[in-house]
Amino acid sequence: MTRDKLVRFFRLRFVKFLFVGLLNTAFGYVMYALFTRLGLPDFLAVLFSTIIGVMFNFKTTGALVFKNQSNRLILRFFGVYAVYYVIDIICLRLIHHWIPNAYLSQFILVFPLALVSYTLLRIFVFDRVKSA
């Protein structure tokens, strides 16, 4: 792959989302693990790590991926993450039937939930503003 092709590849929005998502996911997973380690039940560990993660993600994703730092989008962003939270809890409960380890269960959900997150953010938060 030539240098120009490599540069264009890393400029693709979804690729940027994946890299920023790695940072955001690591941050969120560390928060989840911390709350789980503190003895909180799954639904609270996910809730608290999601709330803290959303605030962190809003700035990193908006600025680095979608090139939009407008604070007006925060309510839509929180709305997407409210849906994300429900999906996460449902999936976590389903996986717990086969894999009782809370850390591994949440880790397995990381990539599928990243796809859900990108799609929801693209459709309902950031691209919606550009087309309005």
Summarised one tens digit per residue, pLDDT across range 85-109 is 899 999 999 998 899 898 999 999 9
Per-chain mean pLDDT for the chain: 86
Tell me the C-alpha distance between 100 and 97, whole Å. Answer: 7
Give percent above pLDDT 90 in the chain.
42
The pTM for the full model equals: 0.68
Q: What is the mean pLDDT of residues 60-76?
A: 90
Domain assignment of residue 30, given as a range:
11-131
Q: Judge whether 63 lies within some domain.
A: yes
Number of alpha carbons in the 13 Å side-chain half-sphere of residue 3: 0
Render the burial of 24-40: b for 16+ CB within 10 Å, e for the rest: bbebbbebbbebbeeeb
Q: Judge whether 15 lies within some domain.
A: yes
Q: What is the mean pLDDT of residues 18-31?
A: 88
- Residue 132 confidence (pLDDT) above 50: no
Q: Judge whether 80 lies within some domain.
A: yes
Domain count, the chain: 1
Number of alpha carbons in the 13 Å side-chain half-sphere of residue 132: 8
